[in-house]
Amino acid sequence: MKIVIDARELRTSTGRYVERLMHYLQEIDHNNKYTVLLTPKDFTGWRPVNPNFTKVVCPYKEFTFAEQLGLLRQINKLKPDLVHFTIVQQPILYRGRVVTTMHDLTTTRFDNPSKNWLAFHFKQMVYRRVNKIVARKSRLIITASEFVKTDIARFAGISPDKITVTYEAADKITAPAASLKNLSGKEFLLYVGRPTPHKNLERLLEAMKILIEKHPGLVLVLAGKTDKNYEKLRSFARKENLTSQVLFTDYVGEGQLRWLYENTAAYVFPSLSEGFGLPGLEAMAHGAPVVASNATCLPEIYGPAAHYFNPLGSDDIVEKINDVLSDPTLRHQLIANGHDRAKKYSWRRMAAQTLEIYHEALKK
């Protein structure tokens, strides 16, 4: 069968899922023929190792008329038996067999103050509609957690039987650990990722202001590429007199990320909404104790391997982080549980399940 995989998100926040999926599909599937759609900037950086996989440049950006018309023409010319859209954004007029990965519904519910208000809310309104259309027209849907499966079924008014959960996983970083010199010898908390409002980082900064009263040398490390939302957080930290206690790293390389995971006093994940929560699982794989929000899918994914707090209350965030910083027994138990939890997930198994979904969709 001829299968097209939309890999335009290869270098974005969902790119790890797309990259691991294609990596293991190449290992396990030597029967079907695959065409991988890549953006011009990603085209030379990704090379297939299985002769059944070919790559094609796809210049059509998400949320554009070019996506709706140009990508539609491109896919029709390829004449696939099945298309796997790894994101919701896709030509809604395409009528062939489609499997769609729907990561979560966070963007349908939360604002992004770094964007133009009017433009963002118009796109958000369209995005809500697109989610419903895509959920209904796709032959099958993939999600990364049972929480998201239930959420999408309710939101789109479709049967849960149409949705399959394929859990993601966390690989240990193989690059040599590279320390951040300004953190050497310091006790620090860590958050890795985007700073959009649903990540709830302002409350984490509020909690930090209280925590340093008990732990005067404590530092909060916010690791992620600087953008307008991170600049807003930097201003908030200055307003709260936290400049010396909060380190904004900007982008960190693999070796630096490994060192941060391996040396943090605790990985803190205060998010209000997640589809899977991969950074926390990565932290567990590297031996970091995890203190996490009890919202959406996180208790499902982390199980007994995290110490949970109510993300809507700074006091509870403070209490649970302080528990981990002050109780060595709890800390060691979380580290042990985290190692065990991370081992339960497998990218290879995820790819094998996805291949089964392709076969099922091709029969419909």
Going along the chain from its start, the domains and CATH numbers come out as 2-169+346-363 (3.40.50.2000), 181-343 (3.40.50.2000)
Residues 6 or more apart whose Cβ sits within 8 Å of residue 231: none
Return d(Cα 363, Cα 118) in angstroms, integer.
43
**pTM of the predicted model, to two decimals?**
0.94
pLDDT at 115: 80
pLDDT at 11: 82
pLDDT digits (tens, 9 = 90+) for 243-264: 999 999 999 999 999 999 999 9
pLDDT at 21: 98
CB 100 within 8 A of CB 141: yes
pLDDT at 124: 85
Q: Is 217 helix (H, G, I), strand (E, B) or coil?
A: coil
pLDDT at 276: 97
Neighbours of 177 (CB within 10 A): 16
Q: In what order do the strands lie in the sheet with 290-293?
A: 246-250, 219-223, 188-192, 266-269, 290-293, 306-309
Which region holds residue 79: left if phi is over 0, alpha if psi is between -120 and 50, else beta? left
Rg (CA), the chain: 21
Q: Which residues of the chain have pLDDT under 50?
A: none
pLDDT at 121: 83
Backbone angles phi, psi at 316, to 5 degrees: -70, -35
Concatenated DSSP letters of 40-92: HHHHTT----STTEEEEE--PPTTSHHIIIIIHHHHHHH--SEEEESSS-S-T
Return d(Cα 116, Cα 78) in angstroms, integer.
37
pLDDT at 14: 83
